[in-house]
Amino acid sequence: MGRNNVKEKFLYEIWKKQNFIQNLKTKAGDSIEVLDSGVENKDTGGPDFKNARIKIGSLTFCGDIEIDGSYSDWKNHGHNLNKRYNKVVLHAVLQSSFKQTHVFTSDGRKVQSISIEECIASGLRSALHEAILTERNNRIYTMPCSELVKELSENEKIDIITQLGIQRFKNKKNRFYNRIKELKYLAEMNLKEPVVNYDYDETQLEKYSSPDDFKSTILWQQLIYESIFEALGYSKNKEIMLKLAKTSDINFLSSFLSRDNFVRFVESALFNISGLMPDIYNLPDEETSEYTRSLAKYWTEIKPTYDGTTFNQEDWHFYGQRPMNFPTIRIAGGSILVHRILKENLIHRMFKFMEQVEDTGRLEKIIKNLIIVEAHGYWLNHYVFDKPSDARIQYFVGASRADEIVVNIILPIANLYFEIFGKEKAAKNVLKLFVNYSQQSENKLVNEISDSFGLRRVKKRAVLYQGMIELFRNNCGYVEACKECPMGRKVFQ
């Protein structure tokens, strides 16, 4: 465990001074006598006290003492895998665990685990419990190898996380490949989702493998459009945003391309299909803006041509969201991106830049700027319909969200596209951009892992940013996964 938080300092002092109001006992009721509390370990790794002597019942043990806030910290901190803890003779914890009486070292030896909370003064006990609760609230992500990983060189850590980042990139690309096969299948079978349920096995999708199967521009437009909408939904609205993009698909929205005010038609379709439009016919004119009335008017033209699913306002999450992340704002921004995809040939332009521009710094700025959407018009000073906001909105899609879209969607899809059509140089250029891309968005998980690994100064590199997410999601959240984790294999060997 770390050496600096207040809770641990309290516990260390209690152990050193043996400030117990009653004798220590095992869960089985055997008395524990501390003959020598040991020497506090000042190193960054290993047990908290070295060379202690304790007597349990009639037996005397010489070895190390590990002190944790709770029983589960033994595994959460990776002590069960760390050879440095093989000489521990007592595991003392603050919080009780009536079911668990022992922990095990990496060589399989059983070690007594005892609770000390009943043996310290009640006032101090309350302060320690509060400290533990605060620490847990502030720290969500636990890295079992955080003690040992600091002993690896920076290059060793970067190499491991880079490979994980590239693997995450390839996994995303494979998911997009499967999805574009699904889109091809839907188009070929003349099926529409999510209205019609369809069933197929893998052999039906595997038949799509040649470049000719994927030459339709609409397939790539739909793939990018629905993926961007899912990303704009963040965690709480991503599923409903994806459903919205699937039911009001590119084929449907393309039918309005000849209209003068194409963006307004797209907004009308999306806001009405989403169920977020207010019922203007039950509101007085003075409470309804011209913009809202225009969306309702366009919908009277659009509705007869639409035979898909419509949603309800209850399907969307506003509570707990920052106003900038309200689905109304994200749909407004998404409508501009639909305009860029269908009217301004966005995908072709991005792919062309990736083929021609080899300077990754310049290419990064070009691609990101094509995704950023500045706020304007009605939604410049509204978060919801017909209730002006006090603050003006600067961006519908800002630089941080644009980074996420470029790294997680545009680059993997572009790499897939170039591989399918045999453009190896362009595919390598995209991977080079991913490895060197500077991702400015913030992520609490990435912040904590980069702090644990001492990689704070390089965490903005997209390949490392993504690699840290891959590391935690696939390993740190699972029991005993350290043995399969590339970082765990390195530090616990």
- Do 83 and 178 lie in one domain? The reply is no
Give the pLDDT band (50/70/90) at residue 493.
low
Give the pLDDT band (50/70/90) at residue 6.
very low
In a domain, 107, yes or no: yes
Task: Please give the pLDDT value at position 379.
Answer: 94
- Top-ranked range on mean pLDDT: pick from 96-110, 124-138, 165-179, 382-396: 165-179
Task: Please give the pLDDT value at position 250.
Answer: 97
Report the chain's mean pLDDT, rounded to a whole number.
Answer: 87
Statement: residue 167 has pLDDT above 60: yes
Cα 254 to Cα 357: distance, rounded to the nearest angstrom: 30
Q: Which residue has the tokens 């963040």?
A: 234
Cα 27 to Cα 113: distance, rounded to the nearest angstrom: 8
Statement: residue 282 has pLDDT above 80: no
> Which residue, among 176, 174, 166, 235, has the nearest Cα to 471 in the 3D structure?
166
- Do 292 and 219 lie in one domain? The reply is yes
Share of the chain above pLDDT 90, in %: 55
In a domain, 461, yes or no: no
Task: Please give the pLDDT value at position 446.
Answer: 87
Cα 189 to Cα 115: distance, rounded to the nearest angstrom: 65
Burial class for 150, CB neighbours closer than 10 Å (0-12, 13-18, 19+): middle
- Do 345 and 233 lie in one domain? The reply is yes
Statement: residue 350 has pLDDT above 90: yes
Burial class for 211, CB neighbours closer than 10 Å (0-12, 13-18, 19+): exposed
Statement: residue 4 has pLDDT above 60: no
Cα 87 to Cα 64: distance, rounded to the nearest angstrom: 6
pLDDT mean over 22-42: 88
Statement: residue 2 has pLDDT above 50: no
Burial class for 394, CB neighbours closer than 10 Å (0-12, 13-18, 19+): exposed
Q: Are the CB atoms for 158 and 450 separated by under 8 Å?
A: no
Q: Which has more confidence, 113 or 222?
A: 222
Strand 373-374 versus strand 110-115 pairing type:
unpaired
Of 388, 408, 436, the last residue of a domain is: 436
- Top-ranked range on mean pLDDT: pick from 64-68, 154-158, 407-411: 407-411
Q: Are the CB atoms for 487 and 464 separated by under 8 Å?
A: no
- Do 299 and 166 lie in one domain? The reply is yes
Eight-class DSSP state of 32: E
Give the other-Cβ count within 10 Å of 468's Cβ. 27
Cα 281 to Cα 261: distance, rounded to the nearest angstrom: 23
Task: Please give the pLDDT value at position 473.
Answer: 83
Of 436, 463, 486, the last residue of a domain is: 436
**How far are the Cα atoms of 89, 276, 333 from residue 393, in angstroms, in the given order?**
60, 19, 12
Task: Please give the pLDDT value at position 1.
Answer: 40
Task: Please give the pLDDT value at position 265.
Answer: 97
Which residues lie below 8 Å from residue 360, measured CB to CB, with a gap of 6+?
Answer: 432, 433, 436, 437
Cα 116 to Cα 183: distance, rounded to the nearest angstrom: 61
- Do 244 and 115 lie in one domain? The reply is no
164 beta partners: none
Q: Are the CB atoms for 224 and 410 separated by under 8 Å?
A: yes
> Which residue, among 492, 456, 442, 452, has the nearest Cα to 472 in the 3D structure?
452
- Do 131 and 162 lie in one domain? The reply is no
Task: Please give the pLDDT value at position 142.
Answer: 63
At residue 91, φ and ψ (nearest 5 deg) are: -110, 105
Statement: residue 3 has pLDDT above 60: no
Q: Are the CB atoms for 91 and 111 separated by under 8 Å?
A: yes
Task: Please give the pLDDT value at position 357.
Answer: 96
Segment among 30-34, 264-268, 358-362, 448-452 with least mean pLDDT: 448-452
Determine if the peptide bond prior to 194 is cis (ω within 30°). Answer: yes
**How far are the Cα atoms of 14, 240, 335, 353, 427 from residue 414, in angstroms, in the given order?**
59, 25, 22, 11, 7
Share of the chain above pLDDT 70, in %: 89
Amino acid at 303: K
Amino acid at 100: Q
Q: Which residue has the tokens 């060379």?
A: 51
In a domain, 200, yes or no: yes
In a domain, 49, yes or no: yes
- Do 217 and 365 lie in one domain? The reply is yes
- Do 166 and 128 lie in one domain? The reply is no
Residues 247-259: tens digit of each pLDDT: 999 999 999 999 9
- Do 341 and 391 lie in one domain? The reply is yes
- Do 322 and 358 lie in one domain? The reply is yes
Give the pLDDT band (50/70/90) at residue 110.
very high
Its domain, for residue 300, covers 157-436
In a domain, 455, yes or no: no
Which token pair is 487? 């970082």
In a domain, 273, yes or no: yes
Containing H/E element for 110? strand 110-115
> Which residue, among 345, 279, 335, has the nearest Cα to 312 in the 3D structure?
279
In a domain, 448, yes or no: no
Q: Are the CB atoms for 464 and 443 separated by under 8 Å?
A: no
Residues 230-246: tens digit of each pLDDT: 999 988 899 999 999 99
Number of structural domains found in the chain: 2
- Do 131 and 49 lie in one domain? The reply is yes
Q: Is 78 helix (H, G, I), strand (E, B) or coil?
A: coil
In a domain, 60, yes or no: yes
pLDDT mean over 376-385: 92
Which token pair is 256? 């309005």
Q: Is 113 helix (H, G, I), strand (E, B) or coil?
A: strand
Task: Please give the pLDDT value at position 100.
Answer: 79
Residues 442-453: tens digit of each pLDDT: 788 888 888 878
Cα 462 to Cα 366: distance, rounded to the nearest angstrom: 16
Eight-class DSSP state of 409: I
Segment among 85-94, 131-140, 202-211 with least mean pLDDT: 131-140
Of 92, 108, 139, the last residue of a domain is: 139
- Do 394 and 253 lie in one domain? The reply is yes
Give the pLDDT band (50/70/90) at residue 401.
very high
> Which residue, among 262, 264, 315, 310, has the nearest Cα to 291 in the 3D structure?
264
Give the other-Cβ count within 10 Å of 390's Cβ. 6
Cα 89 to Cα 59: distance, rounded to the nearest angstrom: 12
